[in-house]
Chain A
Amino acid sequence: MQTYQYDQTNICQPTLAPALATRELEVFYGDKQALFKGSLQFPKHRITALIGASGSGKSTFLRCLNRMNDRVATVKGRILYHDTDINQRQINVYQVRRQISMVFQRPNPFAKSIRENIAFALKQQGLHDRAQLAARVETSLKAAALWDEVKDELDQSALALSGGQQQRLCIARCLALAPDILLLDEPASALDPISTAKIEATLAALRHDYTIIIVTHNMQQASRIADYTAFFHLGHILEYSETEALFTRPQIKVTEDYISGNFG
């Protein structure tokens, strides 16, 4: 087992306009610190992948970005969105989550029909016009590349769909809210390769309109779809640069060992 130095990092500052940025973000579960001073900038309309071993803090980091850690952990530091620090008490978290939407590791559609799954959040916001709802359901299902598979069974239970379809439904459900940023927490880890490929194709198409941040265990996946990649290790963000650079010319020893599989 090698020992590594964690004070040596290589974090790039993307030149593109950032959609979201963190400044010295720290997360504590009780006394245990899970994330150490994470400062990243996420360029607009790009896909950023967060990679690293289990327990490296990448999911924890992701969940901070739309305040899903509020009730589980203490989050310190700043999260800048539209020049506003959204990691403040008085910020309206519901508004934050509408703009910064999240898809989880396990597909989690509600036990409702496909239509109701997508209409749920819209109805909560007071949209009840049937024609408008139907239009939003259609556009978001099309955007998530699910429309052709389910257009004839919109009133069937979402739980009857396959895992991959459920996950794309969850993406469509987020898109219906017209968010700015899409956070995905290992969205394909519970899926087979074909479903994974469909999700990846969907994400590639979505990146023209959305800023996407995706946590993945799968380094091939990161290199296939991401424009930027950040490497997490034991709660530290050690390296962040353009995906190609990170995978071909890693600057930090830990990153190099991790991506070459020569780890620990």
Chain B
Amino acid sequence: MDRMKQNLHQASKASYQDYFGKSISLFCASLVGMLVVAILYFVMTRGLATFTQNHISLRSFLLGQTWNPTQIGANGQPEVGALPMIVTSLAVTLLAALLATPFAVGVALFVTEIAPRRGGQLLQPMIELLVGIPSVVYGFIGLSALVPLMRHLFGGTGFGILTGTLVLFVMVLPTITSLASDSLRAVPLDYHSAALALGATRWQMLYKVVLRAALPGILTAVIFGMARAFGEALAVQMVIGNAVLMPKGWLTPTSTLTSQLTTGIGNTTLGTLPNNVLWSLALILLVMSLFFNSLVRFIGRRGRMQK
């Protein structure tokens, strides 16, 4: 009896295990948290230095159209207008998403609803393979196949928004497809039978019931795709032309935020203005990815509330 009393008050091996597991996961979680905070802090301080140390106005940075950080412009300030890059980045992202979404939803429907067996065995691994191909390979294929093709078809240099969009289209397609298939698979089977039992055809069931129910998930998939497109550097850099100029058409050489970052980062010294403005570009990228993330969360919450 006494022994039992003693056992009840004493910590045992089980309680140490519990404590040990808790500490490990807490350690990992706080490490990741610290990393995120550190990155945010680093990019913030560097990126804001353009405005605090070099006294560039936010307006001329966001709306200026000439990019030439080593030259002093007419207004006595270095020319660091990032608008062409912002516009190009947004353009290729939106166009790629616009182009990829119908294809992705079509493939996702095929894989989940129309031919789950064949689709699952053949198409799914193929799509997953596409995700794993390094972006430099996509860029290389774009450079050696797409750019000459564009030049042949439309004239000009072959570099530009259109080529960038096409490369990004192939890159975001698997992302959107696999996430959209997941959300289609999550639609309760009850909905299928309910719609069919009401005399709906398969098309009516898919279009009016299944797709509607999966809509929040599909939107999330599209936004993840856009986030990937927006952040993609290497592949885009190889086909966009890398001239910081306002795009004047589908195929004029231009530059995205990411491509300018990778091109410029090796040619500048830390602490100088040309380096600081690159950090400001990185800050824009960070803010945009935060925006995409919160959009995903917002849609997720809306979707849950409906249910």
- Which of B197, B200, B201, B307 touches A68 (beta carbons < 8 Å)? B197
Interface string of B139-173 (1 = CB under 8 A from A): 00000000000000000000000000000000000
Within 8 A of B (CB), among A159-173: 159, 170, 173
A120: contacting residue among B190, B193, B201, B208, CB under 8 A: B208
Inter-subunit contact B196/A68 (CB<8 Å): yes
Residue of A104, A121, A170 touching B200 (CB-CB under 8 A) = A121
A68, A95, A121, A125 interface centre (most CB from chain B within 10 Å) = A121
Q: Which residues of A contact B199 (CB under 8 A)?
A: 94-95, 97-98, 101, 121, 124-125, 177
What's the least CB distance linking B232 to chain A, in Å? 34
Q: Interface 1/0s, chain A 121-151, versus B by CB < 8 A?
A: 1001100000000000000000000000000
**Interface check B54, CB cutoff 8 A:** no
Residues of B contacting A109 in the complex (Cβ-Cβ under 8 angstroms): 194
Given contacts A124-B204, A124-B208, A159-B307, contact A108 B198 (CB under 8 A): no
- Interface of chain A, main secondary structure: mixed
**Interface residues on chain A, size class:** 20 to 34
Residue in contact with A110 in the complex, picked from B201, B204, B213, CB distance below 8 Å: B213
Is B196 within 8 A of A97, CB to CB?
yes
Task: Please measure, in the bound complex, the distance between the C-alpha atom of A157 and the C-alpha atom of B200, giving whole angstroms.
Answer: 21
Interface size class on chain B is 10 to 19
Interface: A102 (CB within 8 A)? yes
A48 lies within 8 A of chain B by Cβ: no
Residues A97 and B197 in contact, CB atoms below 8 Å apart: yes
A111 interface hit (Cβ, 8 Å): yes
Pairwise interchain contact A97-B193, C-beta atoms closer than 8 A: no
How distant is the Cα of A76 from the Cα of B212 in the complex, in angstroms? 36
Task: Give B189's nearest chain A residue, CB to CB.
Answer: A108
- Asked if B213 and A174 make an inter-chain contact with CB atoms under 8 angstroms apart, the answer reads no
The B269-307 residues at the A interface (CB cut-off 8 A) are 306-307
- How far apart are the CA atoms of A182 and B197 in the complex, in Å? 11
Establish whether residues B194 and A157, one from each chain, have CB atoms under 8 Å apart when the complex forms. no
- Output the least CB separation between B198 and chain A (Å): 4
Known: A97-B196, A108-B191. 5 other contacts (CB 8 A): A94-B201, A95-B199, A104-B193, A125-B199, A177-B198
A sample of 10 cross-chain residue pairs with beta-carbon separation below 8 angstroms, ordered by A number, consists of: A68-B197, A97-B198, A101-B198, A106-B190, A110-B212, A110-B213, A111-B212, A124-B204, A159-B306, A174-B198
